[in-house]
Structure 1
């Protein structure tokens, strides 16, 4: 076990976070994301209690020290197992623990994990109570605004009130219902309409709770608008495909905007270290494809680093040099025509 504990009080920071995303928010992505902004709250992928208790706990729990503040998201419905894993997470150095009550996939439903738990608020309360009893760090809940036949605001409020009786104060609310029958996980992120007003209303009706909004947020302007109504904003796929958004959000802390090439210079030693550990280069480079999105040379950057095209460390260095040259050519062209 690693000694990575840092005294980071997340409650004193603006609550802007990157959502837990399976196969995406790996420790390689999280190290990369941290380079854009020191204050964004990072989440692991959802990790089931079974994977920790009966699998390779070190592989599932390890993270880079630079990732703080970081939250472990757990999937499970057995209160004792969740408590045990929460204690392990605290000992490992995580800043918070989050219970997944929002994932709509069949795989987690069959194991009574994720959004299906919204139908059992008493069980969720028992889980949260046991988790809180086991640790000193905050325990939070991420959930939907509803599921299947439980779609009304009043039913969501009942769920929140039931869980809040445990002393849980922080709820991250995905502003879509989840249809557990008939829609795929991808469709459940896109088809049900966003109902931001339900999340706003929840904060208005329960001002003593810390309410964060998740779902469909893509820009700084949208983030600022939501922060007029709620305590925090969680950003999902946009933070992955357009990671420089995390740097743009630095204005909330009056941070200077980092240079993309400076970010890559910080990333290169990490890539070298991970390769020395035996990690395939493509496993790392897949997370940095969006760094130059919408800039000259972005397509060739993606082509150079995706699909295993980059075989060696030198290939990554060449990709950096090529896009730097492409951007310089564009800048020279613009300056030349402005003069003319």
Structure 2
């Protein structure tokens, strides 16, 4: 499928472990036809050494959809990127931002901020191996690094490999002393240095990530000069407030949808999933925040949470939960 991924990258939903699986992405795509969606991070060793190709499965309706890879071996990443291209992903993204211990022990994620030359070699290998665009998601630095020195050098070095799009999580990652959860909140945001990268490298596409929770904020960042905005937890926990108006406000097309309409559009997908032996809760856990902040939201969450795990649970439970809201 041919997709203008650069245009879609004006707004994207961040890759989030345990959250942005194929069921989540299917839901988000119903809410916005244009927003760029990302997979959870898939490690190159899992694909190349573990042959875990099921991790690449997705629904054609998810396009435009990007595959995020984790790894630090150029040859292995090139093989993994080739697999991603064969599966038809619209973009392949290298994770240089995740601070988890597991990621560090594999010498990838945020620890790669300390080795721009290696990242450039990885990206070059991925670009040479297949035709899909390679992008990078990074932090502004790690630990005691000075972002004003490290970030420009990192972007300049990696861009020489042919990478033209970067998503910058505008916080440092503290590999020592903070948990992955703390790394999402405690290091202070520095939007100014991220914006400076757009000024320093006007030919590159720079998206901002970190702390953005509303479309109002996204529009303000786009107006300030960013090419794109990537929203994470807010798009997951309160998707209606972020995604239902995104096509109209960010992309200037289509009219906004209603949350109840999305629920009804999900029913055939849920029926299909359950008929394949799947559990209702595997899908509905991503739908709990659909009515966040609206009357009846608590009843919606309660019914889905309590009933969704029961044997034989199906769309009748979803409809009952919807009645409690509407």
TM tier relative to shorter chain: over 0.9
Instruction: Name the structure 2 match of 1:232.
Output: 228
Deviation of 1:155 after TM superposition, in Å, equals: 1.2
Partner of residue 241, structure 1: 237
Measured against aligned partners, the alpha-carbon deviations of 1:178-232 in whole angstroms (never above 9, x if no partner) come to: 0000000010000000000001111011101111100000111110111122100
Q: Tell me which residue corresponds to 1:323.
A: 325
User: 1:336 — aligned with what?
Assistant: none
The answer to whether the Cα contact below 8 Å between 1:101 and 1:117 also exists between their aligned partners in 2 is yes
Once the two structures are TM-superposed, the CA of residue 55 in structure 1 deviates from its matched residue by: 3.0
1:265 shift after superposition? 1.2
Query: 2:55 matched to which residue of 1?
Result: 60
How many Å separate the matches in 2 of 1:265 and 1:56? 36
- Distance across 1 between alignment mates of 2:11 and 2:172: 22
Give the SS at the match of 1:213.
strand
Partner of 1:143: 138
Matched, 1:117 2:112: yes
What is the match of residue 264 of structure 2? 265
1:224-272 alpha-carbon deviations (Å, 9 max, x no partner) = 1111221000000000001111112222223211121211111001011
Cα distance change of structure 1 residues 310 and 316 upon mapping to structure 2, 3 Å threshold? farther
Identify if the C-alpha distance between structure 1 residues 111 and 217 changes in structure 2 by more than 3 Å, giving closer, same or farther.
Answer: same
Cα deviation per residue 1:111-143 (whole Å; 9 max; x = unaligned)? 101000110111101000000001111100000
* 2: CA distance, partners of 1:192 / 1:205: 24
Q: Which residue does the alignment assign to 2:301?
A: 302
Counting only pairs closer than 5 Å after superposition, residues 101-180 of structure 1 correspond to structure 2 as 101-180=96-175
Q: Distance in 2 between matches of 1:26 and 1:188?
A: 22
Separation in 2 of the partners of 1:116 and 1:310? Answer: 38
Q: What is the CA–CA distance in structure 2 between the aligned matches of 1:164 and 1:308, rounded to whole Å?
A: 50
Structure 1's consecutive aligned runs of 4 or more residues displaced over 6 angstroms after TM superposition are none
- Paired position in structure 2 for 1:182: 177
Aligned to 1:253: 251
Query: How far is 1:9 from its partner?
Result: 1.9
Name 1:289's counterpart in structure 2.
288
Residue 197 of structure 2: aligned partner: 202
Q: CA deviation at 1:26?
A: 0.4
For 1:221 and 1:61, the matched residues in 2 are separated by 33
Structure 2 gaps of 5+ residues are: none
Q: 8 Å contact 1:310–1:316 — kept in the other structure?
A: no
CA-atom RMSD in angstroms: 1.2
Q: Contact 1:71/1:97 (CA < 8 Å) preserved in 2?
A: yes
| TM-score (structure 1 length as normaliser) | 0.91
- Give the 3 Å change call, closer, same or farther, for CA 309–267 of structure 1 in structure 2: closer
Deviation at residue 149 of structure 1 after TM alignment: 1.6
* Residue 68 of structure 1, CA deviation: 0.2
Contact 2:11–2:250 (Cα < 8 Å) also in 1: no
Task: Verify the 8 A CA contact 1:16 1:41 in the aligned structure 2.
Answer: yes
Pick closer, same or farther for the CA change 1:26–1:307 going to 2, 3 Å: farther
Secondary structure of 1:147's counterpart equals: coil
CA contact (8 A) 1:96 1:139 kept: yes
* Map of 1:328 onto structure 2: none
Which position in structure 2 is the counterpart of 1:82?
Answer: 77
Work out the number of aligned pairs and report it: 319
CA contact (8 A) 1:151 1:177 kept: no
